[in-house]
Structure 1
Amino acid sequence: MSRKEIEREFKRQLIARSARDLFLAKSYEEVTVQDIASAAEFGKGTIYQYFSSKEEILYYLIYQDMAESMENLRRDCSEPDACECLNIYISNQYDLYMRGNRLFLSFLRLMLEGNLKPEWINATGIIREQKLEFVAGIIARGQADGVFIEADSLQLARALKNVVRGFTMEQLELQKKATKNTNDIELIKAVIFAGIMRKNDSG
């Protein structure tokens, strides 16, 4: 990138970080563009030089989080062991949801209301499907090794994602502060890998 492009992206990130802090401290719905401008120490007009709307700022945050999460998963799952890769995925997905669960809910609401550009929905959808297919590939590898049960690998990937999301959604419902809970992660792993049925040791 040119120096001008680097500077522009730096300012976009600064605005987005300021917006994230406000969205998580209050809520997306309560925050105004003027609030974001004040937090970023820019004029309101400057914000519109980098983002067309508050909705675009939210999209930018969601997309960046999802892209970073996908990149980290690819990097950390370069090893062939399928079980370890699923362990990594569980922590990765949990962190993604805990980092921006409220943002995802606001994004979903705006999408259902028809207030998001189709290209934003498509872009986030592509990353979501890429991640599911990547995890399905991990599961298929484990199935080939005789480690995981025989079932549709993509369906198993979706089920696993929804288990993780369920734990983080509960935190929102209970109005807890979104912080990483190691006990949650370990319980998810225990349920996924060992199930909830006690093994019959009598043979």
Structure 2
Amino acid sequence: MRILDLLGFVPEGTTRRSVPVRGEWVDDLRYGLLRDERAAWLTRPTSFASIRLVELDDHLARTYGDLRVHPHQEQFVASVLGSYRDALFPEVVDGAPVVPWLRGVEVTDHHGATHPAGFVMLAEVTDAHPEPYLWRLLVDRWWQRSGVGRAVLDAVVAGQREQGHSSLLTSWVEGVGGPRRFYERYGFVPTGRVIDDETEARLSW
């Protein structure tokens, strides 16, 4: 499935119990890709001119809610719509609800056009939560492998540094194709703690 995702294929449906595997009938996930879609995928952007974290309003919330990661990545990161729900009903940590800070990721291409490319959400520092936490980072499948993810982290770190903070926590789900390598290459170091089945890591500067 991961290979098909990276080639630009998209899931079109599932036929239930339609394929025999080791004596058992299992579901079959069907993928499809038209010629013009393949051509567009091969010429998708591999870089951008600039990036901006934009505050979301009722209009932009709908636009950014349509962003999607590759299907094989859905096990590692919640959707933007799921993130809206988490922000609306934040969990209680250490006796107090976390305070969400969320932004859309807007990129400007080399022709001057702007595009929604991702989404980022932090849990802000409060009296109960003394360290900022990178709660959600999602880059749309169309803009992956173009440097957007790293640029978002650069912007987030710059903002936290301006506020006087010297570290940033995050956590990830382990697995093949997961985000561990991305975060470690940026400089995050696992703390040794596993919280809700996710590996916790810290970036310090």
Normalized against structure 1, the TM-score is what?
A: 0.31
Normalized against structure 2, the TM-score is what?
A: 0.31
Name the structure where helix makes up a greater proportion of residues.
Answer: 1
Which structure has the larger Rg? 1
Name the structure where strand makes up a greater proportion of residues.
Answer: 2
